[in-house]
Amino acid sequence: MKYYLVAGEASGDLHGASLMKALKELDNDADFRFFGGDLMQTEGGTLVKHYADMAFMGFVEVVINLNTILKNLKKCKQDIVAYQPDVLILIDFPGFNLKIAEFAKTQGLQVYYYISPKVWAWNQKRVLKIKRIVDHLFCILPFEVDFYKSWGMKIDYVGNPLLDAVDAFKPDVNFLANNNLIDKKVVALLPGSRKQEISRLLPEMLGAIHKFPHHQFVVAGAPSFNAAYYDQYLGDKVIPVIFNATYDILANAQAAVVASGTATLETALFNVPQVVVYKGNAVTIGIARMLIKIKFISLVNLIMDRLVVKELIQDDCTSAKITEELNNLLHNEHLRQQMLADYDVLDEKMGTPGASAKTAKLIVKYASKNKAC
């Protein structure tokens, strides 16, 4: 069959690639065309648009880049119509993908949504729209099952694909030596994959490093940027930026400072004590605080429904407070052990790997039935 996938950020690229790999195992003649990234491209098919040109985060940022977003929407719609896929698979990225879903239904296409839009966080009535324009919804967070059920919507809960990615990870046994990191214990800095995140978070992270002379800080570089981009923030600081090796960095880290997002859950799955940070446009944050009705921003705390990892948001996201929390993570053994124990509970809640294979099997099943009709 012909599959068209739309992923608009780094996490979507990761999950999209895992799903494509699983689909190929079930459908030898699978043909892919997609908006995505480097990981999806390695699975084959045609990359139409890279997510690096799409990932705008926040209300104000969306307005500023509205012209680019509208062009991307137009290009995506035209390309889908020209390709005429058997299945359209939308991966997270709701601001963009729900518009694509709505358009696709007018074209009589099958719309499958992998990784539910986080409608439970704000404007929950969007569920009614999803029921109308999405044929099958595949969710990856345990609490989403009851949420959608409360709105009378049946979904497929497939588990979390991050478990697949972590399970498939094969560590580089020479990683520390190859990157000259053998002399000191590593602290991982994960400032995100978008320009807005990196520009606001990385300077605050770097402002903390002089307080920890006995540790080696390492920045996980986003694949859509190069070393020169990070140099503007590093200045004369001798801090390695390592690309395409986030899991190896985490596998060797004693602690981490992590931008809110998928990476917070990945860090927990690697059993690395962490502090979560987020800083956005002041207007965007003000609007978000009025609209969003959740207690936490990190996936770890959301899934556990309690505070497990410290969250430093907006005015609290400073070098001084990052320093304070890092000091606790590195030197307060009671706090470290409590966080690691909470991670064990999180592991139980998350279940076992297999989300990509399960989702692929359901997609092929539903799409084959529809094609037969």
Residue burial 233-260, b: 16+ Cβ < 10 Å; e: rest: bbeeeebbbbeebbbbbbbbbbbbbbbb
Q: Who's near 113: CB < 8 A, 6+ residues apart?
A: 89, 90, 97, 101, 130, 134, 136, 137, 138
CA distance 253 to 88: 39
Q: What is the pLDDT of residue 57?
A: 57
Least confident of 113-122, 320-329, 348-357: 113-122
Average confidence (pLDDT) over 293-305: 88
Amino acid (1-letter code) at residue 336:
R
Q: What is the pLDDT of residue 145?
A: 87
Residue burial 87-108, b: 16+ Cβ < 10 Å; e: rest: bbbbbbbbebbbbbbebbbeee
Give helix 262-269 / helix 161-168 axis angle, nearest 10°. Answer: 50
Q: What is the pLDDT of residue 194?
A: 86
- What separation, in Å, do the N-terminal and C-terminal C-alpha atoms of the chain show? 15
Label residue 69 by pLDDT band (50, 70, 90).
confident
For the stretch 246-270, pLDDT in tens is: 999 999 999 999 999 889 999 999 9
Q: Who's near 71: CB < 8 A, 6+ residues apart?
A: none
Q: Who's near 92: CB < 8 A, 6+ residues apart?
A: 7, 8, 9, 11, 12, 15, 114, 115, 117
pLDDT exceeds cutoff 70 at 88:
yes
pLDDT more than 70, % of the chain: 93
pLDDT exceeds cutoff 70 at 282:
no
The verdict on pTM exceeding 0.85 is no
Helices (H), the chain: 10-26, 38-42, 59-64, 66-83, 94-106, 126-133, 144-150, 161-168, 175-178, 195-206, 227-234, 246-251, 262-269, 282-291, 299-304, 319-331, 333-350, 355-372
Q: Do 54 and 277 contact (CB within 8 A), yes or no?
A: no
For the stretch 267-277, pLDDT in tens is: 999 999 999 99
Beta bridge partners of 89: 5, 112
Q: Which residue, 119, 148, 62, is CA-closest to 293?
A: 119
Amino acid (1-letter code) at residue 99:
K
Q: Do 227 and 221 contact (CB within 8 A), yes or no?
A: yes
pLDDT exceeds cutoff 80 at 290:
no
Longest dimension (CA), the chain: 66
Label residue 372 by pLDDT band (50, 70, 90).
confident
Q: What is the pLDDT of residue 371?
A: 78
CA distance 58 to 240: 29
Q: What is the pLDDT of residue 67?
A: 80
Label residue 135 by pLDDT band (50, 70, 90).
very high
Q: How far is CA 338 from CA 195, 210, 221, 265, 333, in A?
A: 34, 27, 29, 17, 9
Q: How far is CA 261 from CA 4, 25, 204, 229, in A?
A: 25, 29, 17, 21
Cα dihedral 135, 140, 146, 148 in deg (nearest 10) = -30
Q: Do 58 and 280 contact (CB within 8 A), yes or no?
A: yes
113: which 2 tokens?
């949504």
Q: Tell me the pLDDT of the chain averaged across its residues.
A: 92
- Other CB atoms within a 10 A radius of the CB of residue 225 amount to 16
For the stretch 190-224, pLDDT in tens is: 999 888 899 999 999 999 999 999 999 999 999 88
CA 187 to chain centre: 21
Amino acid (1-letter code) at residue 291:
L
Q: What is the pLDDT of residue 52?
A: 84
Q: Which residue, 97, 104, 132, is CA-closest to 118?
A: 97
CA distance 235 to 232: 6
Q: Do 47 and 41 contact (CB within 8 A), yes or no?
A: yes
Label residue 10 by pLDDT band (50, 70, 90).
confident
Label residue 65 by pLDDT band (50, 70, 90).
low
Query: Any idea which residue has 């059920």 for tokens?
Result: 149
